[in-house]
């Protein structure tokens, strides 16, 4: 046995290499005239190799080269064929050269930086030369229809998809352990030679165990392969292998260690990978930083590695660098082919942690390109809308706007004035308005929208206000008709529920232009609804609509102006993607005199204390909401809970007051009656399901109890809470939940790291901490991850393959800047050098552009 391994000193190692070189070089002299002339060359080489190995473990490439060298010379002396001897000596010389250079690299110690422009086409491309996105993976070597179907499940259809399917993590499998240093219970990697194999079959248990004894410079180890009998052939005696697995004790304890093999790699002496033009032998599955890919039943990470290796080898040369050089240089991005290769085959020195988090230079390059293409598409569309000519231009109509001002019960805030100016400017311009108005709940968006509606009507056009729920449509109608009336403007409600004569009448009024303002739900965009001269569409609470195409609206009118209101402030990064092509105005302050809502958390068992707060408020002349969750899956049960609660509250806690109930299943008249009664103060406590989540505006309501708060989403909770705090009085939001540890005023998880706290708990905490919609939106994004917000059809944008909106927020900002600047410079991307870029943008986003197309 060898002594415990110590890293060979460079000189010792060099000595051995030199000792090996001398006889081998001699044999090669005079055009390999002496391949028979060196006595006992085989045993000598094997002995030296063993000495070198005994000084290990070395870096994997070194180990592999040494083992291959040994394999070449094991039966050298028995080989009489001169050609064969010559071939082996040739190969040995190459291996020695590699070993020598390898040492140099190791000795330099990881100072090399990622290559930026290594030649990528060392191999002559052959076969299919169509663009990568037109090459189906099905026709790659070793794929075929069956595997193609499996890959399709992973979203991989083309070679381009394949290249962009990055590992979801990486594993450092580059450290070797000598057999005599293995300890039971650990996971280790060994590098050795197959000494013996034995296949055991246990038919009763339908089990086969392939026992492979592997030998390295320090000893032998029994390696077990379960149910892979076919490996017997591949792991013939004398084959150098790398094995990774868990070390376990056999029957005789410590002296009897085995390895249950998880991953193996055979090192082939004729491995083409280790051929002349590669600097060091490559392994795929062990002995390096190994990419771990998503798997699906029937398709393993290992297979993926092999496939990607082929593709990198064959197709990397066809990867086009689409980014302009100037941007690459400014953003310090590596070239595209390099980035792809690095992401799949990281080469030392790399930071594993950077790779895993997806922030390595390679990842950065790929993410940038994705974000850049999106922003370019959005920038392009932004220009497109700006170029359109609208037929109906609205004037700001000072007279009527002046009159509107005079009948409003309050003065507009500076923020409101500012956004109204933005909007009027858009409306008067020859191009259609495409504007997003962002403002937290209660910031006063309705009155801004009203200004736009009035301006459109005053210019002789029709204006539509579209909202996500009937309840809200009714509310808006109720609130706005009074004002519109006094301005001499007619207003019609259209919810899609209307039938018969009533419906016919309203549709006629809309079609012949008698209806000047039309308030309604999605029903407004139905094909049966025709407008006489639709000049403006305002979409309230846009986030609730999901994807809507501008096209549907433009078909209704003459390129109407579109104003989108959203109360859910979305984080900047999302806004830049989802609404990237809209102009944005923000109402950044609340009307004066508002007191921040006080939010308190109670455990369910403390319900009485919550009701006490409610009673105090009612006694002071205020009103209350009690909100119950309602989700589709358990709609029936949820509804019943709300109904029973209304009854119980009326009979018990609030017997002295009037309790009302609203939910989505009520008849319109019933619901309208209840809402009017609540608005008029005849009902003090309104029990409701989430139908009141958006838009409802009853300023005298000052307290909201939210039952089962843990069941609501964060944005939803924030919206709900926004129903109170609309007047000058102090308002309260009381969260009831079963979440352990929540109690009045609780900050709950303060001090605890977030990931130990349930998402529900985190949501409630976020709500307790802040009343600022933007803060809450960021928090929501953090808790849920962008996939949730994004992958959902709700936002209408597909997931990125590499980019991540939280992680890459700064990168997105850069990408946007560069994209808009580039279009400024070359508006149509029409110069020849921008063609590949233009094509890539269209390919990626043209079909999906409509998705981002809100408004
Ligand atoms: P949201 O932005 O959530 O749609 P609303 O438009 O419903 O908000 O406005 C919330 C409340 O604030 C309403 O009762 C509205 O009348 C009131 N409000 C709006 N603007 C002002 C203002 N400038 N001063 C005082 N109250 C205002
Ligand atoms: Mg609103």
The pLDDT tens digits for 353-409 are: 899 888 999 999 999 999 999 889 888 887 777 777 888 888 876 789 899 999 999
Q: Are 613 and 622 in contact (CB under 8 A)?
A: no
Say what the pLDDT of residue 192 is.
92
Say what the pLDDT of residue 115 is.
42
Distance 591 CA to ligand 1 centre (A): 7
Token pair, residue 798, equals 């597909």
Q: Dump pLDDT digits (tens) for 783-819.
A: 776 555 443 334 445 568 898 877 787 898 899 899 9
**Which residues make Cβ contacts (< 8 Å) with residue 682, sequence separation at least 6?**
658
Distance 417 CA to ligand 1 centre (A): 13
Q: Which of 26-35, 44-53, 170-179, 625-634 has the lowest mean pLDDT?
A: 625-634
What whole-number distance in Å separates Cα of residue 211 and Cα of residue 199?
6
What whole-number distance in Å separates Cα of residue 258 and Cα of residue 557?
77
Helix, strand, or coil (residue 170)? strand
- Does the pLDDT of residue 572 top 70, yes or no? no
Distance 566 CA to ligand 2 centre (A): 8
What whole-number distance in Å separates Cα of residue 373 and Cα of residue 583?
19
Q: Which of 122-131, 731-740, 842-851 has the lowest mean pLDDT?
A: 122-131
Q: Which strands, in side-by-side order, build the sheet including 732-737?
A: 598-603, 732-737, 701-706, 623-627, 685-688, 659-662
More confident residue, 348 or 718: 718
Helix, strand, or coil (residue 214)? strand
Q: Distance between terminal CA atoms of the chain?
A: 77
Q: Over range 196-225, report the average pLDDT.
A: 92
What is the position in ligand 1's atom list of the atom closest to the CA of 722? Answer: 3
Domains of the chain, start order: 1-118 (1.20.120), 174-287 (2.40.50.140), 598-770 (3.40.50.300)
Q: What pTM was estimated for this model as a whole?
A: 0.68
* Other CB atoms within 10 Å distance of the CB of residue 801: 15
- Does the pLDDT of residue 143 top 70, yes or no? yes
Q: What angle do CA 391, 394, 400 make, to 5 degrees?
A: 155
Say what the pLDDT of residue 554 is.
67
Classify residue 485 as exposed, middle or buried by CB count within 10 Å of its CB (0-12, 13-18, 19+).
exposed
**Location of structure tokens 């508006």:** 827
Q: Which strands, in side-by-side order, build the sheet including 583-587?
A: 491-494, 517-520, 462-466, 534-539, 561-566, 434-439, 583-587
Nearest ligand to the C-alpha of residue 446?
A: 1
Q: Which of 117, 406, 70 is nearest to 267 (CA)?
A: 70
**DSSP 8-state secondary structure symbol assigned to residue 582:** S
Q: What angle do CA 792, 340, 107 make, to 5 degrees?
A: 135
> Candidates 442, 594, 702, 722: which one to mutate for ligand 1, based on the most atoms within 8 Å of Cβ?
442
Distance 565 CA to ligand 2 centre (A): 8
More confident residue, 791 or 18: 18
Helix (H) or strand (E) holding 586: strand 583-587
Nearest CA to ligand 1 atom 19: 444
How far is CA 229 from each of CA 205, 207, 268, 285, rounded to the nearest angstrom?
15, 10, 20, 20
DSSP string, 262-313: EEEEE--TT-GGGSTT-SS---SSSSSEEEE---BTTB-HHHHHHHHHHHHH
Nearest ligand to the C-alpha of residue 586?
A: 1
Q: Are 122 and 277 in contact (CB under 8 A)?
A: yes
**DSSP 8-state secondary structure symbol assigned to residue 544:** G
Nearest CA to ligand 1 atom 23: 412
Helix, strand, or coil (residue 115)? coil
- Does the pLDDT of residue 692 top 70, yes or no? yes
- Does the pLDDT of residue 570 top 70, yes or no? no
How far is CA 626 from each of CA 572, 601, 700, 710, 732, rounded to the nearest angstrom?
33, 14, 15, 15, 12
Q: Over range 665-684, report the average pLDDT.
A: 91
Nearest CA to ligand 1 atom 16: 444
Nearest ligand to the C-alpha of residue 542?
A: 2
Q: Which of 225, 213, 220, 223 is nearest to 255 (CA)?
A: 220
More confident residue, 786 or 86: 86
Q: Dump pLDDT digits (tens) for 318-345.
A: 898 999 999 999 999 999 999 999 999 9
Distance 830 CA to ligand 1 centre (A): 47
**Location of structure tokens 């009937």:** 470
Nearest CA to ligand 1 atom 24: 591
**Location of structure tokens 């089962």:** 708
Residue 547 — very low, low, confident or very high, per pLDDT cuts 50/70/90?
very low
Q: Dump pLDDT digits (tens) for 475-496.
A: 899 889 999 999 999 999 998 8
What whole-number distance in Å separates Cα of residue 236 and Cα of residue 239?
6
Helix, strand, or coil (residue 135)? coil
Helix (H) or strand (E) holding 219: strand 219-226
The dihedral through the CA atoms of 227, 300, 242, 257 has a sign that is negative
Q: Are 344 and 291 in contact (CB under 8 A)?
A: yes
Q: Which of 396, 392, 440, 394 is nearest to 417 (CA)?
A: 396
How many helices (H) does the chain have, and how many strands (E)?
28, 20
What whole-number distance in Å separates Cα of residue 581 and Cα of residue 385?
9
What whole-number distance in Å separates Cα of residue 547 and Cα of residue 538?
15
Q: What angle do CA 471, 477, 478 make, to 5 degrees?
A: 90
Token pair, residue 739, equals 């979440």
Say what the pLDDT of residue 568 is.
67
What whole-number distance in Å separates Cα of residue 729 and Cα of residue 706?
20
Q: Are 69 and 52 in contact (CB under 8 A)?
A: no
**Location of structure tokens 């077990």:** 224
Say what the pLDDT of residue 786 is.
56
Q: Are 20 and 45 in contact (CB under 8 A)?
A: yes
What whole-number distance in Å separates Cα of residue 247 and Cα of residue 244?
9
Residue 545 — very low, low, confident or very high, per pLDDT cuts 50/70/90?
low
Q: Which residues line ligand 1 (CB under 6 A)?
A: 410-413, 416, 439, 441-447, 567, 591, 697, 699, 722, 726
Token pair, residue 312, equals 């990198």
**Which residues make Cβ contacts (< 8 Å) with residue 716, sequence separation at least 6?**
690, 693
What whole-number distance in Å separates Cα of residue 293 and Cα of residue 594?
53
Token pair, residue 113, equals 């930086």
* Other CB atoms within 10 Å distance of the CB of residue 102: 21
Nearest ligand to the C-alpha of residue 465?
A: 2
Q: Which of 562, 487, 486 is nearest to 524 (CA)?
A: 562
Instruction: Report percent pLDDT > 70 for the chain.
Output: 86
What whole-number distance in Å separates Cα of residue 260 and Cα of residue 228?
12
Q: Dump pLDDT digits (tens) for 215-238.
A: 998 999 999 999 999 999 999 998
- Does the pLDDT of residue 259 top 70, yes or no? yes
Q: Are 2 and 70 in contact (CB under 8 A)?
A: no
Q: Dump pLDDT digits (tens) for 514-540.
A: 999 999 998 888 878 899 999 999 998
What is the position in ligand 1's atom list of the atom closest to the CA of 446? Answer: 6
What is the position in ligand 1's atom list of the atom closest to the CA of 449? Answer: 6
Nearest CA to ligand 1 atom 4: 445
Say what the pLDDT of residue 262 is.
94
The verdict on whether omega for the bond into residue 57 sits within 30 degrees of 0, i.e. cis, is yes
> Candidates 441, 447, 594: which one to mutate for ligand 1, based on the most atoms within 8 Å of Cβ?
447
Say what the pLDDT of residue 843 is.
86
């Amino acid at each position: 046995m060898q002594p415990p391994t110590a890293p060979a000193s460079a000189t010792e190692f060099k000595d051995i290499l030199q000792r090996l070189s001398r006889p081998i070089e001699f044999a090669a002299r005079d055009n390999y005239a002496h391949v028979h002339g060196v006595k006992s060359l085989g045993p000598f080489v094997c002995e030296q190799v063993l000495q070198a190995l005994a000084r290990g473990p070395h870096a994997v490439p070194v180990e592999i080269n040494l083992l291959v060298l040994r394999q070449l010379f094991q039966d050298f002396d028995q080989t009489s064929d001169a050609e064969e001897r010559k071939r082996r000596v040739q190969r040995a010389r190459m291996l020695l050269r590699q070993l020598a250079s390898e040492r140099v690299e190791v000795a330099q110690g990881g100072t090399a930086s990622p290559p930026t422009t290594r030649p990528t086409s060392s191999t002559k491309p052959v076969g299919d030369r169509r663009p990568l996105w037109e090459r189906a993976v099905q026709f790659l070597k070793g794929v075929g229809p069956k595997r193609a179907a499996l890959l399709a499940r992973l979203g991989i259809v083309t070679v381009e998809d394949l290249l962009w399917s990055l590992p979801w993590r990486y594993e450092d499998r580059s450290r070797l352990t000598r057999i005599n240093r293995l300890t039971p219970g650990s996971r280790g990697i060994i590098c050795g030679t197959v000494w013996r194999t034995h296949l055991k079959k246990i038919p009763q248990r339908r089990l086969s165990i392939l026992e492979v004894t592997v030998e390295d410079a320090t000893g032998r180890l029994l390696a077990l392969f379960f149910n892979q009998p076919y490996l017997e052939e591949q792991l013939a005696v004398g084959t150098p292998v790398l094995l990774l697995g868990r070390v376990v004790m056999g029957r005789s304890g410590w002296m009897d260690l085995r390895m249950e093999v998880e991953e193996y790699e055979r090192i082939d002496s004729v491995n083409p990978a280790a051929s002349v033009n590669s600097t060091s032998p490559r392994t795929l599955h062990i002995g390096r930083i190994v990419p771990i890919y998503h798997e699906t039943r029937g398709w393993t990470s290992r297979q993926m590695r092999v496939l990607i290796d082929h593709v990198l080898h064959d197709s990397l040369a066809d990867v086009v660098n689409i980014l302009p050089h100037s941007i690459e240089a400014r953003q310090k991005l590596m070239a595209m082919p390099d980035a792809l290769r690095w992401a799949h085959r990281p080469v030392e020195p790399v930071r594993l942690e950077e790779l895993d988090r997806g922030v390595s230079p390679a990842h950065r390059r790929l993410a940038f390109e994705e974000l850049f293409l999106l922003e370019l598409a959005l920038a392009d569309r932004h220009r497109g809308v700006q170029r359109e000519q609208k037929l109906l231009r609205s004037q700001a109509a000072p007279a009527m706007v002046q009159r509107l001002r005079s009948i409003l019960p309050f003065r507009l805030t500076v923020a409101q004035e500012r956004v109204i100016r933005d909007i009027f400017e858009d409306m008067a311009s020859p191009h259609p308005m495409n504007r997003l108005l962002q403002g937290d709940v209660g910031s006063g968006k309705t009155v801004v929208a009203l200004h736009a509606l009035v301006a459109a009507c005053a210019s002789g056009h029709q204006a539509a206000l579209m909202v996500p729920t009937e309840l809200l449509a009714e509310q808006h109608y109720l609130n706005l008709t009074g004002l519109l009336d006094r301005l001499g403007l007619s207003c019609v409600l259209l919810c899609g529920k209307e039938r018969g004569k009533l419906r016919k009448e309203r549709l006629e009024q809309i079609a012949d232009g008698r209806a000047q303002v039309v308030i309604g739900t999605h029903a407004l965009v139905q094909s049966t609804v025709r407008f006489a001269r639709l000049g403006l569409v305002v979409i309230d609470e846009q986030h609730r609509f999901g994807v809507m195409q501008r096209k549907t609206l433009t078909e209704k009118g003459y390129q109407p102006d579109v104003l989108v209101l959203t109360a859910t402030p979305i984080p900047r990064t999302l806004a830049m993607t989802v609404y990237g092509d809209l102009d944005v105005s923000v109402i950044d302050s609340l009307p004066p005199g508002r007191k921040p809502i006080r939010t308190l958390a109670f455990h369910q068992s403390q319900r009485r204390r919550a009701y006490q707060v409610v009673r105090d408020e009612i006694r002071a002349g205020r009103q209350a909401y009690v909100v119950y969750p309602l989700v589709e899956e358990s709609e029936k049960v949820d509804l019943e809970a709300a109904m029973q609660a209304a009854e119980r509250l009326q009979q018990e806690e609030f017997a002295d007051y009037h309790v009302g109930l609203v939910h989505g299943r009520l008849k319109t008249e019933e619901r309208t009656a209840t809402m009017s009664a609540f608005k008029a103060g005849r009902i003090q406590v309104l029990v409701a399901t989430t139908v009141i989540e958006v838009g409802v505006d009853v300023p005298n309501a000052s307290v909201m109890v939210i039952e089962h708060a843990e069941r609501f989403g964060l944005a939803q909770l924030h919206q709900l809470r926004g129903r109170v705090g609309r007047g000058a009085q102090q308002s309260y939001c009381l969260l009831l939940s079963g979440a352990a540890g929540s109690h009045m005023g609780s900050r709950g998880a303060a001090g605890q790291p977030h990931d130990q706290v349930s998402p529900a708990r985190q949501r409630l905490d976020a709500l307790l901490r802040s009343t600022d919609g933007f803060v809450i939106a960021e928090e929501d994004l953090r808790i849920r991850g962008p996939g949730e917000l994004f992958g959902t059809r709700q936002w209408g944008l597909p997931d990125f393959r590499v980019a991540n909106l939280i992680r890459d927020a700064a990168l997105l900002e850069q990408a946007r800047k560069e994209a808009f600047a580039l279009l400024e410079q070359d508006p149509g991307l029409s110069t020849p050098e921008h063609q590949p870029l233009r094509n890539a943008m269209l390919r990626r986003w043209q079909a999906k552009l409509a998705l981002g197309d809100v408004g």
